[in-house]
Amino acid sequence: MSDGPDPDDVPSALAELTGYELWEHTQRWGEQVAAARERMLAAPSPSARVALAPGFLRPVRQLLTLRLVAVARARRRAFPVSVPPADSHGIATLWAEVFWAARARSPDDDSGVLSTTDVSIRGLLALQPSDLADPDELRAWCERLESVEETFDGLDMEAQAALEELQAAVEHQQQVRRGAS
Whether residue 58 lies inside any domain: the answer is yes
Question: What are the distances in angstroms from CA 101 to CA 38, 72, 146, 159?
Answer: 35, 9, 22, 11
Read off the pLDDT of residues 117-138 as tens digits, 9 standing for 90 and up.
999 999 999 999 999 999 999 9
User: Average pLDDT over the chain, rounded to whole?
Assistant: 87
Give residue 8's pLDDT. 47
Q: How many domains does the chain have?
A: 1
- Give a yes or no: residue 49 inside a domain: yes
Residue 115 maps to a domain: yes
- Quick one: average pLDDT of 2-21? 64
Q: Does a structural domain hold residue 114?
A: yes
* Residues 63, 33 contacting (CB under 8 angstroms): yes
pTM equals 0.80
Residues 70-82, mean pLDDT to the nearest whole number: 83
pLDDT of residue 174: 87
pLDDT, tens only, 24-42: 999 999 999 999 999 999 9
Q: At what angle do helices 19-42 and 135-180 cross, to 10 degrees?
A: 170
Residue at 12 is within a domain: no
Q: Residue 173, CB half-sphere, CA atoms under 13 Å: how many?
A: 6
Q: Is the model's pLDDT at 73 over the cut of 50?
A: yes
Percent of the chain at pLDDT exceeding 70: 88
* Residue 5 counted as domain residue: no
Owning domain of residue 113: 18-173
Does 64 map to a domain?
Answer: yes
Residue 138 maps to a domain: yes
| pLDDT beyond 90 at 10 | no
